Each structure stands twice: as C-alpha cells, then as structure tokens.
Amino acid sequence: MPRFEVFVPAAPPKLPIDLTLRIDAEHWLAALKAGLQRIGEAQMANNVLCDIQADGAIHVTDPGSGRVFRILELQQPQPTAPAGRPPPPPPTLAPPPPAPRVVVPPDVPPVLARAPAPPPGPAAAPAATPARAPRRPSAQADRVEEARGPGAPPTTPIGRITRAARPARAEDVLAELFLEVAELEGIRDRRRGLEFLLDLAVRATDCESGSIFTADLGADELGFAAVRGPSAARIEALGLKVPMGVGLVGFCAQENVCVAVSDAQQDPRFYRAVSEAVGYETRSLLCAPAAHEGQVLGAVEVLNKRGGQPFGERDLAVVAYLAAQAARFLASLAPDPFAARRTT
C-alpha cells in the first residue's frame, strides 16, 4: 500500500504546532482524511481546492480557514542486490493513477430567493418633469464591445449578471440561478430539461461548451444526455460513451466528487478519446456529480473557460448546484429509481 507524508498546519489552540504525519492509504485523499482523524480533527465539510505541484505534492486549501495541507506520496525503497550480482531488472508495473484536482463536494445549502420588490403604488406625477435623455452605454462598455470585435455574439445576461459585468459572489450567482431553475418545475421532457440546466451552467461559468452525462443503475458507461458547444452535433451523431471510472468525468461520477483542472492536456487521467473523435481541444475542465439520495445518476461538465481563466470557487458552486438540480430532475421523472433493483 502506498505511503504518504501529510503536512497538517497548526490551528491554535487545538493544534498549536505544525504536524507531519506518515500514513499508509490507498490514495492521497484517504491519507488526508486518515491524518485528520488521527489528530482528532473533524473532516473538512466545505469545498476544498486542490492543486498538483511540480514535485508531485498535492496542496489542499480549505477556503474556510485558509489552511493549506500538503500530501506527498513517498517513494518505496528498492531492494539492494547481493554483492557480486547485478541488480535485478525493475518489475514492469503500470504507473499509479495521478492525483486529479479534486474538490470534495459539500451538501449544497438551500439558496433563499430574494423576493422582488412590490411595484410602487399610484402616485401623482410631478408638475413639470423634464424629459430624461435615453441612457447610452458607458465608455467602458463601448471599449468592451470594440475588444470583442465585429460579429461576436452579444453578451448573454443571467438575471443581472453579464460577461462584461464585475465578477459577482457565489451567493449572488446562486440566488439568481435559484430563480431561473424554478422554471424547471414546468418541464417534463427529459432532454429539454437537461439542456435547460446545461445552458445555465455554460453561461454562468462563461465556458465554450459543456455536457450532461447520465448512467442507468448498474451501468458501467456514461452517455451524453445533453451537449452544447462547437462539437455538439458531432458527439450526438457518433453516440459516444465514457466508461465509468475512466477519465476525469468517469472519476467524478464513480467517486462522487467534483473535479477542476486548469490544463487537462497535462493530466494523464484525461480521457482523450472523445476529443480526438470529434477534433475538439479540451483545455480546462470542471465536472460535478449529479447525485440524488446517495446515488450518482450522472455528471455535469463544462469545458474551456473563456479568456484562459482558471475555474474558481464561484464556478464550482454553480456547477455543483446545477448538477444537484439535474439529479433531482432525473429522479422526478422516475419517482422510484430503485424499484427495479428491489424486485430482482
């Protein structure tokens, strides 16, 4: 079993000093959990952001406390050959799976919708109100449109949010999405409902493309249930599938965790078969499992954030929330998804 070195930063008064633990575990995430359990700390419940360093170490940041944990897999010592004999050739083993950039998904808290302000009552108009000139776009907006160039699609708002607007907090974006997701209640068509949620995910994260995957109970493959982007028609025509547990989206669905990767081409776990089949380059990727009552029904994935920007906490919160809504929507179309399993 692999051995990991887990650095736990101090957290006075309960943990007054930094600690470095050595733990045997199946993978780095299990080593971190075992280390926290060993020193009596509760498991991190919030989103955690992970990144792989050049030396192979994994830095896990807890946004709530700002603490940064470091996990490094230790090299196992090689046996030495007796004197006078050449060392035996090393065994040919498959390389261990690299640690993806994983975000432990929280239980998405309910988002309270802000009630719209009531319309003002009738009031007498002032005696003489000068005509107000129509509001023209600001100089900054003009520069944004010039930078976008001719022929670029117009900015698409989400409530009060646009691509040209100042970045909003995750809470504000989720509040706006909560109001839009309410429209899902009137949709009973499976494809239409999933495409509705996918459009929100792609737009809110400002990505080039995205997909929603679904899997039947007991199935070992993920199928494309909704696709958006330049290669959407090609993917649907080919009927491509992703094996469960293979690639980043397969890992996401199998382990029920979120995955965020800023450079997918550098991650050996990236499943290139789909990109190569349709001729579409994947640069950045964010994926969240669509889970309902402990059962993963699929996953929501967005690709290639515009401007080359990395995914942040707001993007994670958006995709995790919409993935949870996709799971509830799928479960509502089949009121008892476990009925078939209980009858066998």
Let me know: does 225 contact 212? Beta carbons within 8 Å.
Answer: yes
Query: What per-residue confidence (pLDDT) applies to 78?
Result: 64
What three-state secondary structure class fits 38?
A: helix
Burial class (CB in 10 A: 0-12, 13-18, 19+), 9: middle
What three-state secondary structure class fits 19?
A: strand
Query: What per-residue confidence (pLDDT) applies to 83?
Result: 60
Query: What per-residue confidence (pLDDT) applies to 89?
Result: 62
Query: What are the backbone angles phi and psi of residue 285, rounded to the nearest 5°?
Result: -150, 140
Query: What per-residue confidence (pLDDT) applies to 165?
Result: 45
Taking only the tens of pLDDT, the chain with its 344 residues reads 889 999 999 888 777 788 888 999 888 888 888 888 888 887 765 456 667 676 778 888 776 677 889 999 998 766 665 566 666 665 554 444 444 444 444 444 434 334 344 455 554 444 444 454 544 444 444 444 444 445 544 444 433 434 444 556 777 788 888 889 999 988 999 999 999 999 999 999 999 999 999 987 667 889 999 999 998 999 889 888 888 888 888 888 888 888 888 888 777 667 777 888 888 888 899 999 999 888 899 999 999 999 988 888 889 889 999 999 999 999 998 755 444 444 33
Query: What per-residue confidence (pLDDT) applies to 80?
Result: 60
From CA 265, how far away is CA 39, in angstroms rounded? 37
No. of H helices and E strands in the chain?
9, 12
CA nearest neighbour of 48 among 264, 258, 249: 258
Query: What per-residue confidence (pLDDT) applies to 271?
Result: 74
From CA 173, how far away is CA 195, in angstroms rounded? 19
What three-state secondary structure class fits 265?
A: helix
Burial class (CB in 10 A: 0-12, 13-18, 19+), 59: middle
DSSP letters, 91-104, are: P--PPPPPPP-EEP
Q: pTM for the whole thing?
A: 0.56
